[in-house]
């Protein structure tokens, strides 16, 4: 599909379903995508920490991307996730994602500031699809900010380069407010965490890609719309529900997200071995918070 032009966009970093033999379960994935298609989410990212990217081979990632693409409708788009310091390898992976139908690739910033300009000055002009820049240099730290990849000026200048789809913040809203001032006002600028949606709109964010998008994309879409309209009083209670669930779920990384999704009826919600599952008492706490939020009946 054509890349959406209207904001806000809620993007789902798709969790990977596994069967009892630790294999990717493509049947479950197709059925899970069908559930997400009933929500306002329009973007679907394959290759993320939420999707347990480091446990997947490249062939598995591309197969997952292909299954997601096959099951999307005409209003949704596919994104491929890349985290690689090599220009040559980044471009090869981008081509592979484009070949299975990705309209965008999400690329993390190199971890050394001195490499950012030479890396993106070579990658962006040659990338077959637009690039979403991801400023999360320690992706396993769910809900916590890593050291910045570069100064706000360098990050902002990169976000303004040609063939950039948009920029995703890290969790330090104070720092990212400075980055926002260095990025053209018409650029997409997404907040990275469900608990920070309203904070993000205060600094000019107009979309999100976050683990919580898997669970309640309608809430994040509403929070973005209310925040972008300045209706913070109307949004406060909903944001609090998201924050409460997020606080219990995120310390368990992908396992926490999967525990919440399993409660909603999603399939294949095991983590890949040897990652542990969520303890029973934590699962019960997540369940109670989701019930309080109206996500579960009785």
Q: Domain locations in the chain?
A: 9-229
Q: What CA–CA distance (Å, rounded) separates 8 from 141?
A: 25
| Average confidence score pLDDT of the chain | 96
Q: Quickly state the pLDDT bin for 298 (edges 50, 70, 90).
A: low
- CATH 3.20.20.70, applies to 9-229: yes
pLDDT at 57 over 90: yes
Q: How far is CA 22 from CA 85, 86, 257, 270, 273, in A?
A: 29, 30, 18, 8, 7
- Digit-coded pLDDT (tens) for 128-174: 999 999 999 888 777 778 899 999 999 999 999 999 999 999 999 99
Residue listed under structure tokens 């446990």:
55
CA–chain centroid gap for 110, Å, is 18
- Digit-coded pLDDT (tens) for 77-116: 999 999 999 999 999 999 999 999 999 999 999 999 999 9
Average pLDDT over residues 203-219: 98
User: What's the pLDDT score for residue 186?
Assistant: 87
Looking at 144-206, list the stretches that DSSP marks H as alpha helix, in order from N- to C-terminal side.
Answer: 152-159, 173-180, 197-202
User: What's the pLDDT score for residue 1?
Assistant: 57
Q: Give the residue from 85, 127, 133, 88 showing the smallest Cα distance to 107.
A: 133
Q: What CA–CA distance (Å, rounded) separates 14 from 7?
A: 20
Average pLDDT over residues 243-257: 97
User: What's the pLDDT score for residue 175?
Assistant: 97
Q: What CA–CA distance (Å, rounded) separates 176 from 242?
A: 21
The residues, ordered by sequence, that sit 6+ positions from 87 with a Cβ below 8 Å of its Cβ are 119, 122, 123
Three-state secondary-structure class, residue 134: strand
Angle at 169 between CA 166 and CA 174, to 5 degrees: 135
CA–chain centroid gap for 84, Å, is 17
């Amino acid at each position: 599909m054509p890349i959406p032009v209207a904001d806000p966009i809620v993007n789902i970093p798709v969790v990977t379903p596994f069967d009892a033999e630790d294999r990717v379960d493509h049947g479950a994935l197709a059925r899970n995508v069908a559930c997400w298609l009933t929500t306002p989410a329009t973007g679907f990212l394959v290759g993320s920490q939420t999707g347990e990217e480091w446990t997947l081979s490249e062939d598995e990632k591309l197969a997952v991307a292909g299954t997601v693409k096959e099951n999307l409708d005409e209003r949704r788009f596919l994104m491929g996730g890349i985290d690689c310091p090599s220009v040559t390898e980044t471009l090869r992976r981008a081509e592979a994602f484009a070949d299975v139908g990705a309209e965008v690739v999400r690329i993390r910033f190199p971890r050394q500031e001195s490499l950012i300009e030479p890396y993106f000055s070579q990658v962006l002009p040659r990338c077959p699809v637009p690039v979403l820049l991801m400023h999360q240099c320690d992706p396993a730290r769910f809900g916590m900010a890593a050291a910045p990849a570069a100064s706000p000026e360098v990050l902002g200048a990169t976000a303004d380069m040609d063939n950039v789809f948009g920029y995703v913040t890290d969790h330090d809203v104070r720092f990212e407010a400075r980055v926002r001032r260095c990025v053209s006002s018409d650029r997409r600028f997404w907040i990275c965490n469900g608990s920070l949606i309203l904070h993000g709109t205060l600094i000019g964010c107009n979309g999100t890609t976050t683990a919580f998008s898997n669970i309640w994309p309608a809430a994040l879409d509403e929070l973005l719309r209310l925040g972008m309209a300045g209706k913070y009083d109307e949004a406060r209670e909903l944001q609090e529900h998201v924050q409460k669930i997020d606080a219990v779920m995120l310390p368990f990384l992908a396992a926490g997200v999967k525990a919440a999704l399993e409660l909603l009826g999603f399939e294949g919600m095991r983590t890949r071995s040897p990652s542990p599952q969520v303890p029973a008492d934590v699962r019960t706490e997540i369940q109670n918070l989701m019930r309080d939020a109206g996500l579960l009946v009785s």
